[in-house]
Amino acid sequence: MRCAKWISGLVLGCWVAVLSSGCVSLSDYRRLQAQNRTLVADKEALAQDLYDLRHGSDSLQGRHASLERELAAKDELIANLRSENEVLDEMRQLARTELESMAGRETLSNVIIAGPKLPQPLDNALKRFADEHPSAVEYDSARGTIKWKSDLLFALGSDVVKDSSIEALERFCDIVSSPTANDFELIVVGHTDDRPIARATTRAQHETNWHLSAHRAISVAKIFQQHGYDAGKIGVMGCGEYRPSADNTTEEGRRNNRRVEIYLVPTGSIVKTALGWRAEGTALAFVRPPAIAPASE
């Protein structure tokens, strides 16, 4: 028994001696073990964080792609809406123009008679004619229209053509009587300003501005007829004050509104209907000049 106790004591002593004389003490060993456990736990935590970050990145990339698709779809929708808006604007403008035409509003200031572009020799001749009379005549090449200022053709309230204007009218008649104009005929349109006829003697001959404008158109047509132009190729029209080309609140505007316009249209455009003479393709009525002399003041 005593021997066994001695052996146990010897072994314990040796173990203690070994631990006391080794490189790492027990306390350091335990400390290192604790640090190792801490590092392992930190490693596991970092691995979990890395997994979570990778999973979150994949989710964000998927969300980003989804948002880009939504943005592209919205951009396409905006482009389509803009195109539709442009179409609607065009349709609205066309509808407005048509409504104004139907209502006969004053915003449609000029009578518009559309026709083909005039032959080049005829167009050139009319341009030269307008250049020769810049103070009295305006030529619209696109519409084949010659516009005279009424103040140069007539005295106020009169439908008698001034002697000073007859030569220019006859020169114009020579141009439209030339072979280059064989396929065209004339529509003469009279206009006035908006001031009512005040003089009783004038009203006796021209009851309203409508009458005065028509009578002036007839007088111009008679000049052409007397100069040899075929009266069967002439239509006349009076618009009175209802188609102004300028503001009637100023004297200059009223002067511009007192005018006679002559349109060249293809032969056959003026046709006979049950209601009178009309221009094909328009809603404008025309009358032939009667075989009477123009009224005098």
Q: How far is CA 281 from CA 108, 115, 245, 268, 284, in A?
A: 18, 10, 23, 11, 9
Predicted confidence (pLDDT) at residue 11 exceeds the cutoff of 50? no
What integer best gives the mean pLDDT of the chain?
79
pLDDT at 115: 53
| Contact between residue 259 and residue 150 where contact means Cβ atoms under 8 Å apart | yes
Identity of residue 19: L
pLDDT of 20 reads 52
In angstroms, rounded to a whole number, what is the distance separating the alpha carbons of residues 81 and 97? 24
Q: Name the β-bridge partners of 161.
A: 154
Tell me which of 39-48, 81-90, 282-291 is least confident: 282-291
**Residue 47: per-residue pLDDT:** 84
**Mean pLDDT computed over 266-277:** 63
Helix (H), strand (E) counts: the chain: 8, 8
pTM equals: 0.56
The confidence score (pLDDT) of residue 228 equals: 96
Q: How high is the pLDDT of residue 101?
A: 61
Are the CB atoms for 166 and 152 separated by under 8 Å?
no
pLDDT at 290: 39
Assigned token pair, 245: 């080309």
Q: Give, in words, the CATH class of 120-286.
A: alpha beta
10: helix, strand or coil: helix
Structure confidence at residue 82 as a pLDDT band (50, 70, 90): confident
Q: Which helix (H) or strand (E) holds 140?
A: strand 137-140
Task: Write out pLDDT tens, residues 204-233.
Answer: 999 999 999 999 999 999 999 999 999 999
The domain locations on the chain are 23-103, 120-286
pLDDT tens-digit readout, 12-64: 454 445 445 555 578 887 888 888 888 888 888 888 888 888 888 777 888 88
User: What per-residue confidence (pLDDT) applies to 194?
Assistant: 94
Q: Which residues contact 112 (CB under 8 A, 6 or more apart)?
A: 143
- Quick: pLDDT tens for 87-146: 777 777 777 676 666 555 444 445 555 555 789 999 999 999 999 999 889 999 888 889
Q: Could you give the 3-state DSSP secondary structure of residue 238?
A: strand
